A and B are shown apart, each in its own frame.
Chain A
Amino acid sequence: MALPTDRRYTAEHEWVLVDGDTATVGITDYAAEKLGDVVFVDLPAVGSETAEGSVVGEIESTKSVGELFAPVSGEVLEVNDAVVSAPELVNSDPFGSGWLIRVRVADASRLEDLLDAAAYAALIGESA
């Protein structure tokens, strides 16, 4: 599966899609595949503040637990309730309807430090 090039990535296997000062965050198909079937998603409260690099949620499969790290600092504007009630969306559509949270980005310049699709592909050993 080709990685979408419209967004940025982290070494913790999250993707960040920026629209103005809003960042939508999810996990990559690589991460979802490594986790296996996701059966439980725990997301932060709307209105809470995230600090870049802090744990803001959990993604559990039958076999293991993945932590969701905030890729940027900011305020949580929205969480994906659909994925809370249907965690399998993380596996079936990780880059689309399986998104996890939307954050108002405190400092847009921090986004420049995230990986582009080619760099992330290199990180996971795939060609972009």
Chain B
Amino acid sequence: MHQAHVAAGASFTDFAGWRMPVRYSSELAEHHAVRTAAGLFDLSHMGEIVVLGPQAADALDYALAGRLSALQQGQAKYSLLLDESGGILDDLVVYRTGADRYMVVANAANRRTVADALSRRAASFDAEVYDESDDIALIAIQGPRSLEILQNLDDLGLESAPDLPEDREEADIAHALAALRYYRALSGTFSDRPLLIARTGYTGEDGFELYTAPDDAPALWDALLETGAGAGLVPAGLAARDTLRLEAGMPLYGHELTTGVLPAQAGLARVVALDKPGDFVGRSAVEGGAPEGARVLVGLTGEGRRAARAGYAVHVPSGEPHADAPVGEVTSGALSPTLGHPIAMAYVDPALAETGTRLDVDVRGSRVPFTVTPLPFYSRKKN
């Protein structure tokens, strides 16, 4: 894929051991393209760990915070890998790709952690864990015109399609794509090579994530760019991906999520299935919820154009008592390209987490006013 990115004019950054396209032309143009048309992302750095066997579902119910046994075939779920103390080791998307087969998609930096933890935690179950990250590439197409572009892609088919005349087959895949619901996946083919087509993403827009073999990825990438050019599809890099997910209020591992954070603090209590029958790693630690006074994740919006960035201290407004002592810390922040004002996520003292609370962020020595705002900042229905 590297050559394809060079051909598209990418600048690169080193990320989790990968040379990743950070932007192709302009990250703002790429961001806007995803909000208004479509963007194409190479996410092959993500980790894919397959859990296989008669007890794969039970193993994952024990290993992860969610109830993965409840997934139907072709369904996906957002989940968390917790440690014994309830801290977050990674956030994941889990696909049930067969009765006895799951694919766990992990952040690139956590691939080994996840593969090792799953192997250990599955050891007492009739299930095998395989790290297939090197054998699976991932291309995401995100944005309101994604469906139309995929429907127009030549050589896309359904894996289980009966032997139909070519025009029927095309009608079939187009219909199946349109009918595919959010967080569902189907088995397809591209040029007769297998392809998992999932309606998932990390941008807050409609879109698809396409899992395929690394050798098949460049042809798929090129064909999508060619098919989508007229609809405004552009290649998009990590920089745009970060501002898109921030606007959509989606956490990023290493920023909003760390081993020092319990799911409840990150607003992810709903992801922990305390009602599932068996034990799971981290259960006893998270059952009581976050300890009294533990900081919680909030959204912050500011005026003007000066962004609060990761690591900046949060204070009560100047002039109020105790304005010197930090009451929180920003985990991600940027000037929102869609909204035109600064947005940030921060952990703050729970007493200050209510919507509308005025807080200051110390932006390199200047106090800049922000207001606690519900997440997400942007949703495609609302904006």
Contacts and interface: CB of A to CB of B under 8 A. Distances in A.
B382 interface: no
Nearest to B240: A62
Contacts of B355: none
**Chain B's interface: helix, strand, loop or mixed, by majority?**
mixed
Q: How large is the interface on A (under 10, 10 to 19, 20 to 34, 35 or more residues)?
A: 10 to 19
Interface residues of B, number: 19
Interface string A59-99: 01111010000000000000000000000000100000000
A12 to B, nearest CB: 17
B335 interface: yes
A91 B11 CA distance: 15
Interface in A4-26: none
B334 interface: yes
Contacts of A63: 27, 239, 242, 334
Contacts, number: 41
Contacts of A91: 26
A60 B23 contact: no
Interface string B3-38: 000000001000000000011001111010000000
Interface stretch (B224-232, B304-312, B371-379): B304-312
A39 interface: yes
B381 interface: no
24 contacts: A36-B22, A36-B26, A36-B27, A36-B239, A37-B26, A37-B27, A37-B28, A37-B29, A39-B28, A39-B337, A40-B305, A40-B306, A58-B364, A60-B305, A60-B307, A60-B335, A61-B27, A62-B307, A62-B334, A62-B335, A62-B337, A63-B242, A65-B309, A91-B26
Minimum-distance CB pairs A-B, first 9: A40-B305, A37-B28, A39-B335, A62-B334, A37-B26, A63-B239, A36-B27, A62-B243, A37-B27
